Amino acid sequence: MTDIIILKTGRTGHITLNRPKALNALTWDMCLAIESALDNWRHDPDVALVLIDGAGDRAFCSGGDIAEMYATAGRGDYDYGQRFWRDEYRLNAKIHTYPKPIVTFLQGFTMGGGVGVGCHGSHRIVCDSSQIAMPECGIGLVPDVGGSLILAKAPGHCGEFLGLSGDRMNAGDAIYAGFADTYIPETEWDALKTTLIATGDPSSIETAAQPAPESRLAGWQPEIDATFAGDTLGDIYRAMPATPGPAIAHARKLMDRNAPLAMSVATQIIHQVRADPRIENALDHEFRYTYRCAEQGDFIEGIRAAIIDRDRNPKWQHKSWAEVPASEVQRMTAPLGENALQWEETS
Q: What is the pLDDT of residue 201?
A: 97
Query: Which residues have a Cβ under 8 Å from the Cβ of 215 and sit 6 or more positions away?
Result: 172, 173, 175, 176, 177
Q: Are 9 and 47 in contact (CB under 8 A)?
A: no
DSSP-based three-state secondary structure for 182: strand
Residue 318, CA distances (Å) to 24, 140, 243, 297 in order: 33, 11, 26, 11
d(CA 52, CA 59): 13
Q: Are 213 and 169 in contact (CB under 8 A)?
A: no
Torsion of CA 137, 140, 143, 146, to 10 degrees: -170
Alpha helices in 200-232 (DSSP H): 203-208, 216-227
DSSP-based three-state secondary structure for 180: coil
Pairing of strands 4-9, 12-17: antiparallel
d(CA 27, CA 46): 28
Nearest to 138 by CA among 103, 164, 168: 164
Query: Which residues have a Cβ under 8 Å from the Cβ of 193 and sit 6 or more positions away?
Result: 51, 53, 105
Residue 89, CA distances (Å) to 69, 86, 300, 323 in order: 16, 5, 20, 31
Q: What is the pLDDT of residue 1?
A: 60
What residue type is assigned to position 206 of the chain? Answer: E
First to last CA, the chain: 32
Residue 222: other Cβ atoms inside 10 A? 11
- What residues does 5 pair with on adjacent strands? 16
Element holding 267 (H helix, E strand) = helix 260-275
Q: What is the pLDDT of residue 346?
A: 40
Alpha helices in 10-146 (DSSP H): 28-41, 67-74, 79-97, 113-118
State the 10-residue block means of pLDDT for the chain, 347 residues long: 93 98 95 98 98 97 88 89 95 98 98 97 98 97 98 98 98 98 98 98 97 96 98 97 96 97 98 98 98 94 94 95 95 96 64
Nearest to 166 by CA among 139, 144, 133: 133
Q: What is the CA radius of gyration of the chain?
A: 19
d(CA 342, CA 280): 10
Q: Pick left, alpha or beta for residue 178 (phi over 0 → left; psi -120 to 50 → alpha; otherwise beta).
A: left
Q: What is the pLDDT of residue 347?
A: 37
Dihedral sign (CA 297, 303, 304, 310) = positive
